[in-house]
Amino acid sequence: MGKLVSMLYPKMTATRREEKLDGMWKFCFDPEEKGEQEGWTNGLPGRGAKAELLPVPASFCDFFTEKEKREFTGDFWYERDFFVPGEWKGSRVYLRFGSVTHRAAVFVNGRAVGGHEGGFLPFSLDITEAIRYNETNQVVVKGNNELADDTLPAGQTKILPSGRKMTKPYFDFFNYAGIHRSVWLVSVPNCAIEDYTLSYRLEGEDAVVSYEVEVTDTANELTAGKLIANKLRVKLSVYEEEGDLAAEGEAFWKEETIRKEGTILKGELRVPAVHLWRVRNAYLYRFCFRLYEGDSLVDEYWEDQGIRTIEVKGCEILLNGEPVYLKGFGKHEDSDIIGKGFSAGVMKRDFELMKWIGANSFRTSHYPYSEEMYQMADQEGFLVIDELPAVGFMESLQNFDIAALGKMVPYFLKPTTESLLANHLNALEEMIKRDKNHACVIMWSLMNEPETTSEAAVDYFAKVFERARELDVQKRPRTFAMLANSLPDTCHCYSFSDVISLNRYYGWYIAGGYEIEEAEAMFRKEMDAWAAKGLNKPFIFTEYGADTYASEHKLPSVMWSQEYQKEYLDMYSKVFDSYDFVKGEQVWNFADFQTVEGIKRVDGNKKGVFTRQRQPKDSAFYLKERWESLEQ
């Protein structure tokens, strides 16, 4: 098995090469799980015109007209050919997958090269020993989208009378599956920059950049003696947006530091008269890392980075020491036809709509998004709450109803809790490793709507929150989104959060329609109870919303009408403005999105401020007026 390697986003540099393998791949369902036995690892059945082709990146679900294909649960396979040029010989070659939902095993020229568990984070596999140079090679991917109590996200896999499998998610979005993000073929030197980590502190008009660089060598063991004898060093050059050199620093391996840090090299440099990365006013420096052996360039890697600080002090969220109020959305990676597949066009439209409406932030509900989304947020100056796929930690197929009724369903007493925690911590490490250097990422959301009403949750939460603090050099605030039955007198876990994040649906799941005045009274009663606790922490609302049909108008209003959505949002705005510890509002949801079918969902969740086709509902104009009147 090949091992997982660097998570660095593929770049073409003086020492690195990359080629996207996006396009039409061969595809095959495997409901009988016979693929490996029949040798599909060496190529899928069907040749020429008889082969089924599907685009990558995309979900497979919505391309088909047969319901059993859209709803397919189990093993599915992808295949394509790729060419490896001869000039790559002598370097390290790997395949990098942006994501395969929810798990994958990968084969190159019939040889198993590795796999990955978790459908929303990238993985890279070293395929150097499996490829042929100056020849056509073959990659086969065996995917699987089944859910269980210990998967992220969580759910059930049910067997229907026909023998077909069916997913029963503990979460309210469709269980789209496939190769959702780009696939790359990458070449890097054997001795290469594996990873880097940045943190900042401000000193007057300057910024001090602390950096750590991890180096690996697949051809030679990097011992202390070799690092010193080979005169390996790292130069960090920081360039202005105009291309001028802003700062430069150099670090060498020394025997005393090697004993402490191994192959991780630490250094600092000062950026004078720094241009800070600000909300909706981004400035990006180009950070270029160069690894030298003596005077010879061994490896080069660059990325554009914003310099900023983030902290929580009392009830304030401070960016560069200045208070910020979050305005924006919970979102989903969800669009017509391609499902959760990444689309640069959809991404561009989403950011233009968020800018138009006056938003400054979003939460990556309920999983880490494609890396391109973070790159765009860095460029546009949007604040991102980065969320793990830790959703569904309440055994309910309709947790929005269960929570609204106040039911308490312990989740962390299951026999699967130990394996769930292991999967959770692994996803946490991968997410922070991938996203730690993005200026846009200001907060980690470690769970969405978990069960918090039993004592068993406390130990689980403690381990996850502690690990997040250990992993993040920048020490960003940590949070989790609390559902309706996680109340001041019932929740055992809110103390772990640096920022209290509430998902609330007074006026929709609780006391909706003509009872909205009662909903407001209940809402204020809860907020008064939080205020009485004197937590001295910022509160943000990570979900609130009402299902709305774009075609439905009614005077006077009724639930599901455009008019009711505006009345609902206006009630929430008044409550937010009544409590000075409320520091953010993120509406659920940015756009309508697909869910499982059922009597509570009419072809999906319709709480979007925009339709699934990214057109505004009336509420968009209400929010635009409100948000443009609020401070950043």
Which sequence positions are flagged as catalytic? 449, 543
DSSP-derived secondary structure letter, 548: B
What is the C-alpha to C-alpha distance for residues 66 and 311, in angstroms, rounded to an integer?
50
Which distant-in-sequence residues (6+ apart) come within 8 Å of 189 by Cβ? Answer: 15, 16, 91, 92, 298, 299
Residue 420 and residue 400 in contact, taking contact as beta carbons nearer than 8 Å: no
Q: Which tokens hold the place of 564?
A: 């009711």
Question: Is the bond preceding 102 in cis, omega lying within 30 degrees of 0?
Answer: yes
Burial 150-187 (b: 16+ CB within 10 A, else e): bbbbbbbeeeeeeeebbbebbbbbbbbbbbbbbbbbbb
Torsion of CA 519, 598, 120, 449, to 10 degrees: 30
Question: Three-state SS for 226?
Answer: helix
Nearest CA among 492, 448, 446, 447 for reference residue 472? 446
Report DSSP letters for 154-206, one per residue: -EEEEE-TTS-EEEEESSSS----B--S-EEEEEE-SEEEEEEEEEEEEETTE
Q: Could you tell me which residues are beta bridge partners of residue 355? A: none
Which distant-in-sequence residues (6+ apart) come within 8 Å of 631 by Cβ? Answer: 325
Residue with tokens 């509002």: 585
Which distant-in-sequence residues (6+ apart) come within 8 Å of 286 by Cβ? Answer: 238, 239, 241, 302, 303, 304, 305
Question: Is the bond preceding 153 in cis, omega lying within 30 degrees of 0?
Answer: yes
Q: Give 102-134 as a 3 state SS string.
A: CEEEEEECCEEEEEEECCCCCEEEECHHHCCCC
Could you tell me the CA-to-CA distances from 579 to 84, 144, 329, 379 in Å, in that order?
A: 60, 46, 20, 32
